[in-house]
Amino acid sequence: MNKKVMALAVAGALAAPAAALAQVQIGGSITLFYYQHDPDNDSISRTGDVMETSEPEIYVRGEDKLGGGNSAWFQCTSSLDGIVSGSAPASSAGWCGRNSGIGFRGGWGNVFFGNWDMPQKLVFNRARGWFGGTNAFTGGSAVLLNGGSASGSTNVQNVGTFFRRQANTLNYHGPNWGGFSIQAAFSAANESTGNADSGPLDPRMYSVAGHFATGPFYVGLGYELHQDYNPAGLAPAVYGGGDDTALTLVLGLRMGGFDVRAMYNKSEYETTSTTNLDVDGYGVFADWNISGPHTLRAQYVLANDTEGNSTVGIGSYVAPATFGSDTGADLMAIFYSYALSKRTEVSVGYSQLSSDDNAAFSKGKTAVTLGGSQKNYGLVVRHRF
DSSP per-residue letters across 114-153: EEEE-HHHHHHHHHHTTS-SS-TTT--HHHHHSSSEEEEE
Cα distance between residue 89 and residue 85, in whole Å: 8
- Model confidence pLDDT, tens digit, residues 318-364: 999 999 899 999 999 999 999 999 999 999 999 999 999 999 999 88
Under 8 Å between Cβ of 206 and 186? yes
- Model confidence pLDDT, tens digit, residues 85-126: 765 544 445 689 999 999 999 999 999 999 999 999 999 999
The answer to whether position 140 is within a domain reads yes
* Predicted confidence (pLDDT) at residue 17 exceeds the cutoff of 70: no
* Predicted confidence (pLDDT) at residue 10 exceeds the cutoff of 60: no
Question: In this structure, how many other beta carbons lie within 10 angstroms of the beta carbon of residue 172?
Answer: 17
Cα distance between residue 60 and residue 78, in whole Å: 9
Under 8 Å between Cβ of 105 and 98? no
Given this model, what pLDDT does residue 87 score?
52
Cα distance between residue 285 and residue 142, in whole Å: 13
Beta bridge partners of 132: none
The answer to whether position 58 is within a domain reads no
* 80 φ, ψ (degrees, to nearest 5): -120, 30
The answer to whether position 183 is within a domain reads yes
Using the 8-state DSSP alphabet, how is residue 306 labeled?
P
The answer to whether position 91 is within a domain reads no
Question: In this structure, how many other beta carbons lie within 10 angstroms of the beta carbon of residue 157?
Answer: 15
The answer to whether position 99 is within a domain reads no
Under 8 Å between Cβ of 380 and 31? yes
Number of domains in the chain: 1
Given this model, what pLDDT does residue 22 score?
65
Residues spanned by the domain of 251:
106-384
The answer to whether position 82 is within a domain reads no
Cα distance between residue 211 and residue 129, in whole Å: 15
* 68 φ, ψ (degrees, to nearest 5): 65, 20
Calculate ∠ Cα 343-365-43, nearest 5°.
145
Could you tell me the CATH number of the domain that includes residue 241? 2.40.160.10
- Model confidence pLDDT, tens digit, residues 38-93: 988 766 778 899 999 999 999 999 999 999 999 999 999 999 888 887 655 444 45
The answer to whether position 138 is within a domain reads yes
The answer to whether position 85 is within a domain reads no
Cα distance between residue 76 and residue 99, in whole Å: 7
Given this model, what pLDDT does residue 93 score?
53
Closest to 330 in 3D by CA, of 283, 383, 285: 283
Given this model, what pLDDT does residue 4 score?
44
